[in-house]
A = this chain, B = another copy of it.
Amino acid sequence: MEAMEALPKEETLQLRQKHYGPSCKLFFKENPIKIVRAEGQYMYDEQGNQYLDCINNVAHVGHCHPTVVKACTEQMSLLNTNSRFLHDNLVTYAKRLTATLPDKLSVCYFVNSGSEANDLALRLARTYTGNYDVVVMDNGYHGHVSSLIDISPYKFNHTGGEGQKPFVHLVPVPDVYRGLYRENVPDVGEKYAMEVKHTIDAARRQGRKIAAFICESLQSCGGQIIPPHGYLREVYKHMREAGAVCIADEVQVGFGRVGSHFWAFQAVDDEACPDIVCMGKPIGNGHPMSAVVTTPEIAEAFGATGMEYFNTFGGNPVSCAIGLAVMDVIDKEDLMGNASRVGNYLMEGFRKLGEKHDMIGDVRGLGFFIGVDLVKDKKSREPATVEAQHIIYRMKESFILLSTDGPHRNVLKLKGPMCFTTKDADRVLVNLDQVLTEIESARTRKHALLPAKVEAASSNNTLEHAVCSYRKDVHSKRSGPIFTGSHTLSHDALFGNTKRPTDNDSDDDEAKRQKTWAGVD
């Protein structure tokens, strides 16, 4: 299907600047992408350029999957109302969802977003335990509503954050690559779990009472972290001894993404079972829906207060039909098998690249949840923050959508639609190889310039500036496309006056930039 854009890109951008919250950021701020259609793992811009999508973990079974669209249309034509009426879709979906989980996790609440799910999980935990405090993993992110900003170090400890509140207790990330205990420490899982025990004990000494421990089963924004075997069961044990309940935030990592299991907590520790599981993003392939699943005991305690929980849209027949369709597609197309196969293929590929490129420090993942930890060099493991941002921009030029995360923003994240193929994987690997080669080549020649700039990269703004300067250094020496601090330019645009096909700026702007950049090299 061909999609037309209704407005010129520049007008879209201007209207957005006028009418949309400035806190809502665009990918590639300086030359954002306008996407008009998508299919499977591919997205298309207004000029018809095809992008390979490595990052949209929401379009789980593939963008615009016809089975999901059909389920939505059919149910939406028939009935879409609230859960105060009985409906078969709600109960069928609840039964199907709970069947993927350990028996004790049998009671659902259907909500609209991961944030609503995690907030409800906190309410359940606090009501059940009668306690208030929350233990969270450092760098964790659990959502955008007030109660979750409060328990997300990824937010409260960074720009614009209000810092840690007294009822929040942090535990270290069980990151065996750059954390407190590393891959060669014996019983590393127990050691990290013991840190949690210490946190609990410290909280108790202050007279605090813990309601919940919440962590993503695999930490996403925190840098694609796979906790070591044995960690989760030990943490859960310590938390339960402290009277707290254990919440698995599977919003980003659930629904078979890890390949081997439907839920990530099952994949990282076959003996760990949370008391509450929160689901979101992939659950409806883009349709706004989420869920919380818990035990009958916790659900009954919440119900026993007598306060009704009513969620206007949660559990409506359309959302449930979509949820069922997504599960159908995962099964019918063996997307978990595909995630395992392609994920392993990709990770092997990255590891092979790592033999050639000193910048690939660590390759980690499960199924199609993969992180490539970029470093200055393998020995120091110093995060290659600026380089990582550069790679993202360069991959965009090759029409590959990647992103970075982690506290140092140096970890490449791959978590695209589950229909990703080995051919797609090859496209990523070949392009990454090329960009790494370019960077290494430029570094060899201009090495002295780099360290100071990376150190300067402490805030977002400074980081952007550093990336910009770094790009200048790298690109002044190579022949590929080139980026500036405020614009994206191809080498040809800069030196040969040829406009990039995705560039939609006026010729005037183009001329200005050429002038600016003429003096750089």
The reply to whether B160 and A307 contact each other, CB–CB distance below 8 Å, is yes
The reply on A318 being an interface residue by CB < 8 A is yes
Chain B binder among A229-237, A239-247, A258-266, A280-288: A280-288
The reply to whether A15 and B91 contact each other, CB–CB distance below 8 Å, is yes
CA distance A18 to B32 in the complex (A): 48
Contact with B along A54-85 (1 / 0, CB 8 A): 00101100011010110011001111111111
CA distance A79 to B316 in the complex (A): 22
The reply to whether B160 and A35 contact each other, CB–CB distance below 8 Å, is no
- Nearest CB to that of A3 among chain B residues? B78
The reply to whether A315 and B116 contact each other, CB–CB distance below 8 Å, is no
The reply on A486 being an interface residue by CB < 8 A is no
Residues of B near A36 (CB, < 8 A) are 78-79, 87
CA distance A86 to B161 in the complex (A): 27
Chain B binder among A92-100, A375-383, A425-433, A441-449: A92-100
A86 in complex: contacting residue of B16, B81, B86, B94, CB < 8 Å: B16
The reply on A184 being an interface residue by CB < 8 A is no
A79 in complex: contacting residue of B38, B86, B106, B287, CB < 8 Å: B38
CA distance A95 to B16 in the complex (A): 9
A15 in complex: contacting residue of B18, B95, B286, B315, CB < 8 Å: B95
The reply to whether A1 and B78 contact each other, CB–CB distance below 8 Å, is yes
The reply on A198 being an interface residue by CB < 8 A is no
CA distance A9 to B87 in the complex (A): 9
Could you tell me the distance in whole angstroms from the C-beta of A276 to the nearest C-beta in chain B?
A: 12
CA distance A90 to B315 in the complex (A): 25
CB under 8 Å from chain B, chain A span 104-152: 106-109, 112-116, 119-120, 122-123, 144-147, 149
Query: Which of A95, A158, A159, A312 has the most chain B CB within a 10 Å cutoff?
Result: A312
The reply to whether B305 and A113 contact each other, CB–CB distance below 8 Å, is no
The reply on A24 being an interface residue by CB < 8 A is yes
- Nearest CB to that of A124 among chain B residues? B21
CB under 8 Å from chain B, chain A span 338-381: none
Question: If the complex has contacts A19-B98, A147-B146, A288-B289, are A34 and B85 also in contact, measured as CB distance less than 8 A?
Answer: yes
Could you tell me the distance in whole angstroms from the C-beta of A102 to the nearest C-beta in chain B?
A: 14
The reply to whether A280 and B312 contact each other, CB–CB distance below 8 Å, is yes
The reply to whether A147 and B144 contact each other, CB–CB distance below 8 Å, is no
Chain B binder among A186-194, A295-303, A328-336, A487-495: A295-303
Residues of B near A26 (CB, < 8 A) are 84-86
A76 in complex: contacting residue of B21, B72, B300, B319, CB < 8 Å: B72
The reply to whether A109 and B34 contact each other, CB–CB distance below 8 Å, is no
Residues of B near A87 (CB, < 8 A) are 12, 34-36
Contact with B along A302-318 (1 / 0, CB 8 A): 11011111111111101
How many chain A residues sit at the interface, stated as a range, is 35 or more
- Nearest CB to that of A18 among chain B residues? B106
- Nearest CB to that of A15 among chain B residues? B91
The reply on A185 being an interface residue by CB < 8 A is no
CA distance A119 to B145 in the complex (A): 6
CA distance A459 to B305 in the complex (A): 12
The reply on A452 being an interface residue by CB < 8 A is no
Residues of B near A306 (CB, < 8 A) are 159-160, 459-461
The reply on A23 being an interface residue by CB < 8 A is yes
CA distance A35 to B33 in the complex (A): 43
The reply on A37 being an interface residue by CB < 8 A is yes
The reply on A5 being an interface residue by CB < 8 A is yes
Residues of B near A13 (CB, < 8 A) are 86
CA distance A287 to B73 in the complex (A): 12
Additional pairs, 17, CB under 8 Å, beyond known A16-B94, A22-B107: A7-B88, A22-B299, A26-B84, A27-B84, A33-B85, A35-B86, A37-B79, A43-B79, A59-B81, A63-B81, A112-B113, A115-B116, A115-B145, A160-B306, A288-B289, A288-B316, A306-B459
Chain A residues within 8 Å of B, Cβ to Cβ: 1, 3, 5-7, 9, 12-13, 15-16, 18-27, 32-38, 43, 56, 58-59, 63-64, 66, 68-69, 72-73, 76-88, 90-92, 94-95, 98, 106-109, 112-116, 119-120, 122-123, 144-147, 149, 155, 158-161, 280-281, 285-289, 299-300, 302-303, 305-316, 318-319, 459-461
